Amino acid sequence: MSDKSTRKMIRGYEQTASPTLYLSGQFRAPAENFYDSEFVEFDIDRDDEDIAIVVTDLSTGKRMNSADLYTNKSFKPPIFNEEGAINSWDLIKREFGENPFASISLRANVVSRMLKLMNKLGKKINRTIELQASQVLQTGTITLTDSNGVALYTIDFLPKATHFPTAGTTWGQVGADPMGDLSSLADVNRNDGKIDSDYLIFGQAALRAFLSDAAVQALLDNRRIAKGDVIRTSHRGNGGKFHGTIDIDNNTYEIWSYAGRYKHPKTGASTKYIEDGKVVVKAADSRLDATFGSIPNIGKMLGISGPVSMPEVPSRMMAGGLGLSPHVYLTPDGRTLFGSVGTRALMIPTAIDTFGCLDTGL
């Protein structure tokens, strides 16, 4: 009810929580990684650093080598399918930020509400994809739970235990050797994965302890030889922060930190993707694959009862290189419009021997 008072409505404030996709951004997603099949698989052909053995006499002939040794891995991705609805009666209500005295545009309300719904559903899935990436890089496994803590999807990529060590002495304590711990893990990656590590992703507490370590500070403060450069933090990744470079033994590393968070489904607590005391050690070009299976839709395939035509809703949602399939459909009475976003996404550590994660004990 209007009275004699006057009011001015200013622009509304909408708190947003956009997902950070720094870790899943470490995974490649070429066109071949999008598929319709139930499983995704690939062959692995591992080379080693063998040397040729001399032949003592030409009459003994040649040393035989095998040219067809490879293995195959196959995985079934988890299914994500989020849905929401818009009721026709809601359209006559004021939309967020609208002037209550302005004329209502029902179509504009439909489009606005549906796009907002699709965006919300897509962000939920993207956060879980980021969670997959964080689990892969820190443990070599994926475990996705429901709100009761029950594991609904688990996959173990069977990494070598030596790629996930714990520091002999907790960082920050007397006798700790952060550079030695990182160098040792880099050696494991090099021996098993045949590629040099040059990329570090720190949890918050681990980074603080690393930069506070006397040996690290002495290395960075060396005026005669450029052994490292910690610069003012810059944002160069989707949520990741670049801090500079450092030389440790034979390797030069980029120093990154990541404080991206998600709401834990059981506890409701804001939880960091990278644990405070962890450090991921990897090669910047480690082969990691982001794969996306489609959600089958018979109506779309046969063209019998296709989705509602809404040009404003894209046929595929891409966020940070991640592929999500939206779908909009109407109930027969035309009073409820449903919107869903789905995918079968799996983050795969294809070159599983080229990275590892150090537990600093913090």
- Which amino acid appears at position 166 of this protein? T
Q: For 290-333, how does the pLDDT look when each residue is reduced to its tens digit (9 = 90+)?
A: 999 888 776 666 665 555 666 566 556 554 445 677 788 888 88
Kindly give, in sequence order, each residue whose CB lies less than 8 Å from that of residue 321, ignoring residues fewer than 6 positions away: 21, 24, 25, 29, 290
What pLDDT was estimated at residue 45? 63
Smallest Cα–Cα separation from 110: which of 88, 142, 127, 94? 88
For residues 102 and 204, which has the higher predicted lDDT (pLDDT)?
A: 204
Ramachandran category for residue 63: left, alpha or beta (phi over 0 → left; psi -120 to 50 → alpha): beta
CA atoms in the 13 A half-sphere facing the CB of 225: 6
Distance CA 350, CA 46 (A): 12
Distance CA 362, CA 352 (A): 25
Q: For 266-283, how does the pLDDT look when each residue is reduced to its tens digit (9 = 90+)?
A: 999 999 999 999 999 999
Q: For 212-261, how does the pLDDT look when each residue is reduced to its tens digit (9 = 90+)?
A: 999 998 887 764 444 566 655 555 557 899 988 999 999 999 999 999 99
Lowest average pLDDT, out of 53-67, 139-153, 182-196, 342-356, goes to 53-67
Q: How confident is the model at residue 15 (pLDDT cuts 50, 70, 90)?
A: low
CA angle 286, 287, 288 (to 5 degrees): 105
Smallest Cα–Cα separation from 292: which of 119, 176, 129, 148? 129
Q: For 103-126, how does the pLDDT look when each residue is reduced to its tens digit (9 = 90+)?
A: 556 677 787 788 888 888 989 999
Q: How confident is the model at residue 99 (pLDDT cuts 50, 70, 90)?
A: low
Rounded to the nearest integer, the mean pLDDT of the chain is 83
Predicted confidence (pLDDT) at residue 355 exceeds the cutoff of 90: yes
Domains by residue range for the chain, with CATH: 160-287+348-359 (3.30.1930.10)
Q: How confident is the model at residue 339 (pLDDT cuts 50, 70, 90)?
A: confident
- DSSP lists the bridge partners of residue 357 as 280
CA angle 122, 143, 362 (to 5 degrees): 105
Q: For 138-181, how does the pLDDT look when each residue is reduced to its tens digit (9 = 90+)?
A: 999 999 999 999 999 999 999 999 999 999 999 999 999 999 99
Task: Determine how β-strand 336-348 pairs with β-strand 289-293.
Answer: antiparallel
What pLDDT was estimated at residue 319? 46
Q: What percent of the chain shows pLDDT beyond 70?
A: 75
Contact 324, 125 (CB under 8 A): yes
Q: For 121-142, how does the pLDDT look when each residue is reduced to its tens digit (9 = 90+)?
A: 989 999 999 999 999 999 999 9
- DSSP lists the bridge partners of residue 112 as none
As a whole number, mean pLDDT of residues 15-44 equals 83
